[in-house]
Amino acid sequence: MTTGNRVLDARIPAGPLADKWDRHAMDNPLVAPGGNRRKFTVIVVGTGLAGGGAAATLGELGYNVLNFCIQDTPRRAHSVAAQGGINAAKNYQNDSDSVQRLFYDTIKGGDYRSREANVYRLAQLSTAIIDQSVAMGVPFAREYGGALANRSFGGVQVSRTFYARGQTGQQLLLGVYSALVRQVEAGTVRMYPRHEMLDLVVVDGRARGIIVRELTTGEIKRFAADAVVLATGGYSPVFYLSTNAVNCNTTAIWRAHRRGALFSNPCYTQIHPTAVPQMGDYQSKLTLMSESLRNDGRVWVPKKPGDRRRPNEIPEAERDYYLERRYPAFGNLVPRDIAARAAKVECDQGKSAYFSSQSVYLDFADAIKRLGKDVVGDRYGNLFDMYREIIGDSPYDTPMMIYPAPHYTMGGLWVDYDLQGTIDGLFVAGEKNFSDHGANRLGASALMQGLADGYFVVPRVVASYLAGAKVSTVKADHEAFAAVEDETRAHLKRLLAIKGKRTVRDIHWELGRTMWDKVGMSRNAAGLNEAIATIGKLRESFWHDLALTGSAEDLNKQLEQANRLCDYLELGELMARDALMREESCGGHFRDEHQTPEGEAKRDDANFAFVSAWEYTGPGREPVMHKEPLVFENVELKTRSYK
């Protein structure tokens, strides 16, 4: 491994932690309203909570916005799939919540591998997100008297999660969409559905535009702008089977990475503890069951290994409620990484649900007895309906079967406090950046980050950049656009010219199994080295034996998938290299060699309290790793404990 010495300046404002965001507002230049803002064009790639929120807000402020998505409508952005809720430090339950407590819970939940200033800003903005969303008509759940309701999520001891049954992401996205469509009608935002970004155009060291492919016609197009915002979501489908939509991909940020944007902490991936177990090899994705279910559901396995009786046939005395046993202070609401590993430990010992050796039970019998079926149905009814459609059992009568699944990626492009990457003018929002969650994201914090970045952070920092950057005029006929377009066309032509025998699914499936087995919930040096070698062979097979039909000048789903897979094959290797480098266990990154006698993660703060930032050095060449040291001035570095 080659280590670089590049200095990564996070450009964090001076002063006390609680004052940094306000200080930022006063210290950075602005663009005056009216004609001054109409001079600037901003590209936003993605229409989820981060991308759609940023596009709508920038349009409202008066900038010219070009907004792109691969779906047929912005409403199909994957934010729609989020179920359980969104965190905010409102303290409506009067249970001692605060901005400081949300900040601390997020730092601790991320196993002390995130940047303090960014996390505190996120906690500060959480309250404004709820006010904004309520004002837009988002139908959050309410108490009988009309007050907004809250529930708890993992890793905290307060109730700060606002929710709309099991459809919180959908309702928040509809709020974003309404704001976005308003700006489309006003003419400040131009919407480009079914357009996929294939490359970033950099002119004189600045991001100045993108190359896209219109998916329905195959037409390659150029778009120029004064700044580019990437907000295209996570990359969990590198595991093939994940809770993400099949079309979620890494192409936008990976192509930016190849153009010079550093990629941070790629090995930090979240395995969600509650998903419907895999039914068979024919599946293309897995189905999430919200973490909110652990508010009232109790996780257990049979005490006897190999017990294949149906759950209702197993008496209470023969059940092991292992999370309650191992973590009495938090019980079933431990953070996701801990709950997921605990399920794996039990299943590896032969203690599992009857259905398969990779499933455990989530039981609502006690909650139904205590609260009544109607109350439980009001909270989780749509999730129970989804589960019954898939499995055939009703969670009202029979415990759910669940198992961990790839879900969220904490890694992403490196950004500073302004969410600007290592290419000037390139901003990265939401799950596409690394900045807020460290080595493990707490539940209900993804929606919080997406809307904080989209509604509040991106509009301010982009304005500051445009006001102070002295951006020259660059149009799409610039020679740099022509060169990148030629490279894009050549890349697609090369894919179609392979004429092999292996399908995209076949190669992606093998990549996913390698990632899950070697770079999944537990990792070790031997397995990671094996993964790197296997992925190298898969990449060679991809470029020599891929089978594609059709052309680039028409709708071609196989070509779309192949184009994304070639990026996953490079990203998967980088994830394995990052995990191999990080000789410690922290959050979602668990190395078998680095654990306590009780089997918990064992960090190495002396040697690994830093953000890894990988530099792309060219095809077939090893990447160079740079470091951003993490400085903790407001929290004490200590071993996480939820016992």
507 and 625 assigned to the same domain: yes
Number of domains forming the structure of the chain: 3
Return the pLDDT at 166. 87
One domain, residues 75 and 214: yes
Q: Does some domain include residue 436?
A: yes
1-10, 13-22, 143-152, 238-247: segment of lowest average pLDDT: 1-10
Q: What secondary structure, in 3-state letters, does 370-405 show?
A: HHCHHHHHHHHHHHHHHHHHHHCCCCCCCCEEEEEE
CA-closest candidate to residue 361, choices 299, 443, 292: 299
Residues 294 and 254 in one domain: no
Residue 617 lies in a domain: yes
CATH (domain of 328)? 3.90.700.10
State the residue for tokens 């009786």: 309
pLDDT tier at 471, thresholds 50, 70, 90: confident
Quote the CA–CA distance of 71 and 85 in Å, as a whole number. Answer: 24
Is the pLDDT reported for residue 469 higher than 90? no
495 lies in some domain: yes
* CA 82 – CA 167 distance, rounded (Å): 7
CA-to-CA dists, residue 221 to 197, 198, 217, angstroms: 10, 10, 11
Q: In which order are the strands placed within the sheet that holds 298-302?
A: 269-275, 400-409, 360-363, 298-302, 319-320
Strands 400-409 and 360-363, bridge-based pairing: antiparallel
CA geometry: angle 303, 306, 307, nearest 5 deg:
60
**What is the gyration radius of the CA atoms in the chain, in angstroms?**
24
Q: Are residues 507 and 613 in the same domain?
A: yes
Identify whether 199 is part of a domain.
yes
Neighbours of 106 (CB within 10 A): 28
Q: What is the CATH number of the domain that holds 583?
A: 1.20.58.100
Residue 20, domain member (yes or no): no
Choose one of 356, 381, 406: the last residue of a domain. Answer: 406
pLDDT-derived band at 64, boundaries 50, 70, 90: very high
From the list 403, 125, 421, 414, the residue with the least C-alpha distance to 279 is 403
Residues 162 and 260 in one domain: yes
Domain closes at, from 447, 468, 489? 468
Q: Specify the pTM.
A: 0.97
Residue 213: which CATH number?
Answer: 3.50.50.60
Among 468, 489, 509, residue at a domain's last position = 468
* HEC profile of 551-567: CCCCCCHHHHHHHHHHH
In a domain, residue 278? The reply is yes
Same-domain pairing of 253 and 290: no
Q: How far is CA 423 from CA 16, 328, 415, 470, in A?
A: 28, 47, 10, 15
> Half-sphere exposure of 562 toward its Cβ, with a 13 Å CA cutoff?
29
Q: Which helix (H) or strand (E) holds 614?
A: strand 610-615
State which residues form the domain around 70: 34-270+408-468
The reply to whether 135 and 279 lie within a common domain is no
- What pLDDT is attached to residue 368? 98
108 domain residue, yes or no: yes
Considering the domain architecture, whether residues 435 and 370 belong to the same structural domain is answered as: no
Note the pLDDT tens digit of each residue in 270-314. Answer: 999 999 999 988 999 999 999 999 999 999 999 999 999 999 999
Same domain, 304 and 243: no
Taking 90 as the threshold, does the pLDDT of residue 208 lie above it?
yes
Model confidence band, residue 511 (pLDDT cutoffs 50, 70, 90): very high
- What is residue 165's predicted lDDT score, i.e. its pLDDT? 86
Q: Across the strands, what pairs with 224? A: 209
The answer to the question of residue 165 being in a domain is yes
Place of tokens 């070790």: 524
* 401 and 414 part of one domain: no
Q: Same domain, yes or no, for 225 and 351? A: no
Share of the chain above pLDDT 90, in %: 96
Q: Where are the alpha helices (DSSP H) in 497-524?
A: 504-518
What distances in angstroms separate CA 352 from CA 123, 299, 519, one per listed residue?
A: 38, 11, 23
Mean pLDDT calculated for residue range 459-473: 93
Average pLDDT score over residue span 255-277? 97
Q: What is the pLDDT of residue 209?
A: 98
**Domain identity same for 206 and 228:** yes
